[in-house]
Structure 1
Amino acid sequence: MKWITRERPKIDRIACPWLISRFVDKEAEFIYVPYNEVLIKAKELDATAFDIPEVEFTHYNEQCTFDYIIKKYKIDDPAVLIIAGIVRGADTDRHDIAKESAGLWAISAGLSHNITDDYKLLETGMILYDSLYSWATHLYKQNHLQNSPFESLLHEVYNKFLSDKKSKSKKTPAWVKDLKNMIQDQIDTQFTFDLKQISNDLELNPSYVSREFSKYFEDLNGYANKNWRKS
């Protein structure tokens, strides 16, 4: 089946071909022509026009053409529904709909600026949306810092604590034991080394925490900053 729309695509006119080719018609052919030729060429080529006014496959109220295709063909893939919000926000300049919409707009606008051949742009866009689909399917709830140097740093600090604890004969202060538990609880989450927050949680004076901490570890802030610079 042939699909036709106006030239110089950015958001919807790249996202829709991806959606159609992946979930509606794997053999679909897409054609880009000047705006004033879309309906004429659609009749000549027996093609379905999309993402222009006064055709079936277009915007309705606050929803874009991508949304209509999902509704028309009853696509219920959870990842596609996530992408739909991102596409809608990017295509309608409503970046409040999804936090990723601004990024999609920036990348799409940049690609359109750099690639003047619409069909090469579509080819690149297919890769972009395949990647977005993989993210929405497998990585949607994973943040950037997960499995990052932050996590390794926490493991390193905790292991250092265990090692130092064995080598020191003097009694370990109660707050250090509490700190050990805090670190252990935070091993699998994002953690910022905030001396003030640590002190509040332990109900100890920050100066005391800083001074005493150095007896069991390196200086906490210095240690964190050193490792952050490495990342």
Structure 2
Amino acid sequence: MSLEISSLTKKFGNQTALNNISLSIGKNEIIGLLGPNGAGKSTLMKSITGVLAIEEGEINFNGLNIADNETESKRRIGFLPENNPLYPEMYIREYLSFVAHLHKIPKERINEVIELVGLTPEKSKKISQLSKGYKQRVGLAQAILHSPDLLILDEPTNGLDPNQIIEIRNVIREIGREKTVILSTHIMQEVEALCTRVILIHNGNIIQDSPVDEFKGKFASLEEAFASYTSTNIYRTPETESIETE
């Protein structure tokens, strides 16, 4: 598997969400995608998954341009958005059967995924009856049901209790043995526990792309490194064309 992003730029009106982004991701990596709120992380993930149209630049996945091969690319990508959209009135197996039908895969796969993500104790319930932690597991199950080569997770442990966080991390670690995972998170312990590489986005630019130890560098913790790299926010306002620091 390979993901190649070349000169990707995305604008919303006068705001540049991604500024000439280029990066390469290989097989069996768990990558921590970091950045402050509004840095461009979600825009990048949605561009890779085809949720947002590519207007400038190019994304190639498994040798195919995803803009020209949208359906084929989506077959090989799994995505768990931050808001984890689910159908609350569906039962777990009913929902996963629906997803399996969309991907045209055997329903026997559902039992494997239910066990893998730890849904077995709750598998007979409606989604609306589940705790937030189990709803996250359902979202993760739909993202991996079709055995994607690339799994993209946007804040997968957001709002979970410590035990649930550990359980979801274990699932992600297990998936990362065979798949490539892009994990967006604000939790630095999650990056240390799961990732070998960090991509840091700030103001729409990649300002760090390095192994975790190198990213941490001279700092006592990843939190300190993150704060140092992102503390100075320099931008040019279209009205004044002056550089300000906040």
TM range (shorter): under 0.3
Larger Rg: 1
Q: Is the helix fraction higher in 1 or 2? A: 1
TM-score by length of 2: 0.23
User: Whose relative contact order is higher, 1 or 2, with alpha carbons under 8 Å and at least 6 apart?
Assistant: 2
TM-score by length of 1: 0.24
